[in-house]
Amino acid sequence: MTSPTATTAPRAAADPNEAVALVLRVWRQDGPSAPGDFETYEVAGLSPDMSFLEALDVLNEQLTGTGRMPVAFDHDCREGICGSCGMMINGQAHGPLRGTATCQLHLRHFHDGQTVTVEPWRAAAFPVIKDLVVDRSAFDRIVEAGGFITAPTGSAPDANATRVPKEVAEAAMDAAACIGCGACVAACPNSAAHLFTGAKLTHLNLLPQGQPERWGRAEHMVEAMERYFGSCSNHGECEAVCPKEISIDVIALLNREFRKARFANRRLGGQSG
C-alpha cells in the first residue's frame, strides 16, 4: 500500500565538496484570490551541506538585493520538529527523502544544475496565503474539537503514579510524533486528513488520562475533519511522505474508535448532566 514515490532520491551531487547550482521553479502568488504562476531562478554557489530552506534563503537574498519581493515560505525550528516548513519539491511532499522534513533535506541529494520545482501544498482545505505559505488552520479546528484532556490534574504526579503498559506507551508516543505539517493531506489523492486526525486521537485515546473523554473526542474530531477534508481510500501516500513515518495503523484505530463512539454516545444520550 505504501507508495514507492517517496523512497527514491535523485542522483547525488558529483562532488560533495564542490558548490552546487540549482534552477528553482518556484510558485509565486500574491494572495489567496490572486492568480499564481511559476517563476524560474538560477541560484549558484550553494554548499551541498545546506538545507533546502537555506537555499531559499540564498534566493531571497538575491531577490531583495535586486529590489524584488522575496519568496514567502513558512519556517521556524529548522530541526524537523515544528512542521511549518512543508512544501512540494519536484512533486513530492517534503522532497525525495523518506522520513525527512523540508528543513532536514540537504542539497547533497540534488545534482549540480538540476531543475527543482517548488510548490505549496495543494488542497482545498489549505488555501494559499502567499507563494509557498498555506493556511492550515483546518488542522486547528480538528484539535479544538477534541484533541485535548480537560480533566483537572493538579500538580504534576510522580512518573510512575499511573501505570501504562510499555507497548501502549510506545504506540502513544509514536502517534504523538505527528508535527502537523500537512504532508499527508498534500500527498493524498483525496486530500484526506485521516493520518493527522488518527495520530492526534490515538496518542490520547490509548492512555489512561484520555479515557474520560474518549468517545466524545473520537466523534467530535472526525466530524470536524469531515467538514474540511476528503475521505480516506487507503492509498497509503500519507504514510509514505510523513516526515515522522507515522503508520496508517492510526487510521484503522481512528475508524474503530469512531464506530464505537457513535454507539456509545447514542447509548449515553438519554442521561442527564
Domain with residue 255: its CATH number is 1.10.1060.10
pLDDT at 14 over 70: no
pLDDT at 271 over 70: no
Q: Where are the alpha helices (DSSP H) in the chain?
A: 52-65, 137-146, 166-176, 183-187, 194-205, 214-228, 237-241, 249-268
What is the number of domains present in the chain?
2
CA–CA distances in Å: residue 269 to residues 147, 182, 198: 21, 34, 25
| Residue 193 shares a structural domain with residue 236 | yes
| Residue 144 shares a structural domain with residue 262 | yes
pLDDT at 215: 93
| SS3 annotation, 187-226 | HCCCCECHHHHHHHHHHHHCCHHHCCCHHHHHHHHHHHHH
Kindly report which listed range (3-7, 191-195, 231-235) carries the lowest average pLDDT score: 3-7
Counting residues of the chain whose pLDDT is more than 90, the rounded percentage is: 82
Kindly report which listed range (7-11, 29-33, 174-178, 229-233) carries the lowest average pLDDT score: 7-11
pLDDT at 156: 72
Q: Greater confidence, 18 or 17?
A: 18
| Residue 182 shares a structural domain with residue 150 | yes
DSSP string, 92-131: EET-SSTT--GGG-BGGGS-TT-EEEEE----TTS-EEET
For residue 216, give the nearest of 225, 205, 206 by alpha carbon. Answer: 205
* Confidence at 270, pLDDT banded by 50, 70, 90: low
| Residue 108 shares a structural domain with residue 174 | no
Residues 6+ apart with CB under 8 A from 269: none
Average pLDDT of span 56-68: 97
Structure pTM?
0.88
Q: Is residue 159 in some structural domain?
A: yes
pLDDT at 5 over 50: no
| Residue 75 shares a structural domain with residue 186 | no
Specify whether the CB–CB gap between 83 and 134 falls below 8 A. no
| Residue 200 shares a structural domain with residue 264 | yes
Amino acid at residue number 185: V
| Residue 140 shares a structural domain with residue 263 | yes
Kindly report which listed range (11-20, 131-140, 178-187) carries the lowest average pLDDT score: 11-20
Q: Greater confidence, 8 or 119?
A: 119
pLDDT at 6: 45
User: CA-to-CA distance for 175 and 75, rounded, in angstroms?
Assistant: 23
User: CA-to-CA distance for 80 and 92, rounded, in angstroms?
Assistant: 17
Q: Is residue 273 in some structural domain?
A: no
> Which residues face 115 on adjacent strands?
23
Indicate the residue among 79, 102, 129 that finishes a domain. Answer: 129
pLDDT at 17: 72
**CATH number for the domain harbouring residue 62:** 3.10.20.30
pLDDT at 229 over 70: yes
Average pLDDT of span 7-26: 72
262 is in which domain, residue-wise?
A: 136-268
| Residue 116 shares a structural domain with residue 177 | no
pLDDT at 150 over 90: no
Our CA dihedral for 59, 65, 67, 69, rounded to 10 degrees, sits at 30
C-alpha cell at 94: 517534503
Mean of all residue pLDDT scores within the chain: 91
pLDDT at 2: 40
Residues 6+ apart with CB under 8 A from 157: none
Indicate the residue among 83, 101, 129 that finishes a domain. Answer: 129
pLDDT at 159: 67
For residue 54, give the nearest of 22, 31, 83, 30 by alpha carbon. Answer: 22
Q: What pLDDT digit, counting tens, does each position of 236-259 carry?
A: 999 999 999 999 999 999 999 999
Average pLDDT of span 36-56: 97
For residue 101, give the nearest of 260, 246, 222 by alpha carbon. Answer: 246
For residue 190, give the nearest of 234, 256, 138, 221 by alpha carbon. Answer: 234
| Cα torsion 11, 17, 21, 27: sign | positive
pLDDT at 4 over 70: no
